[in-house]
Structure formats: structure tokens, C-alpha cells
Amino acid sequence: MLGYIEAELLKETRQLSQLSVCDLKDALRRGDAPQVLDVRTPKEWDSGRIERARHIPLPKLAGALKRLPKDAPLAVICGSGYRSSIATSLLLAHGFARLQNVMGGMGAYQETKCAEWQVTESRSGSDNYGATSRIC
């Protein structure tokens, strides 16, 4: 550890924006997801990843900040959400503003079954619409 600060000495706190895995999966399916930044270890990355995600392990992130666009939305993910919270805090401290921490990390991403909602026409053929769900 390099140091610490007493909590009462902090003058500013920020709340990290959180993104659920279901919201991320839905955005990826629609094609309008933020860039996913995966901060897991290379071994974790090799065991499974999100298509088109960018991989920068957390210990290397500080040295790679210039390779990331500050104005683009980023969804930061790790194995469980802990390292991605650290990474998101680091990015915020360096001027990145459009950040979301993926809650539960890849563990939740791989395990969670999300409902997919579709609008369907009612059986009567009228202009009324009903919603149905399907597990993806």
C-alpha cells in the first residue's frame, strides 16, 4: 500500500454509475452498448470474454490511459465487480466521465439469465399491444 487518507478528510465523493449485466447484454444485442473494458487477468480473459471487449488488466491500466478515448462511454468489467470499481475510480480521477461499472462482473454476466421483452400484437387483432417475455 502506498498510503491512505482518513475518510473525514475527503472533501468530495462520487458515486460510480452501475450497469446491470442484463442491461449490458440487452445493449450488446441491440448494437448500442458502450465499449466494454475488461480489467481481468490474462488467464481470466483467456477463459472467456465478451465479444469486442477491450482487455487491459488492472495492474496495467494506469500506463494505458492514453490509449482509451476519454469522451466515449465505457462499461468496465472484471470477475466480480471489485477490480472494475477500482478501475472505474482510476479512470474518473483521470478525467474519464462516461463510465459504468458492470455489477457482479463476468461471474454474473455468465450466470445470469435475462428476460428479453418483445412487443406483440394482441390476439384480437386490435391496436392493443401486449408484452411477452422470453428467457435468453
Three-state SS string over the chain comes to CCCCCCHHHCCCCCCCCEECHHHHHHHHHHCCCCEEEECCCHHHHHHCCCCCCEECCHHHHHHHHHHCCCCCCEEEECCCCHHHHHHHHHHHHCCCCCEEEECCHHHHHHHCCCEEEEEEECCCCCCCEEEEEEEC
Confidence of residue 130 (pLDDT cuts 50, 70, 90): very low
Confidence of residue 13 (pLDDT cuts 50, 70, 90): low
| Topology adopted by domain 14-135 | Oxidized Rhodanese; domain 1 (3.40.250)
Which of the pair, 114 or 44, is modelled with greater confidence?
Answer: 44
C-alpha–C-alpha distance, residues 116 and 2, integer Å: 46
pLDDT tens for residues 14-23? Answer: 678 999 999 9
Which pTM value belongs to this model?
0.78
Confidence of residue 131 (pLDDT cuts 50, 70, 90): very low
Phi, psi of 114 (to 5 degrees): -110, 140
Q: What percent of the chain has pLDDT over 70?
A: 76
Which of the pair, 62 or 129, is modelled with greater confidence?
Answer: 62
Under 8 Å between Cβ of 102 and 84: yes
For the residues 29-48, what does the mean pLDDT come to?
96
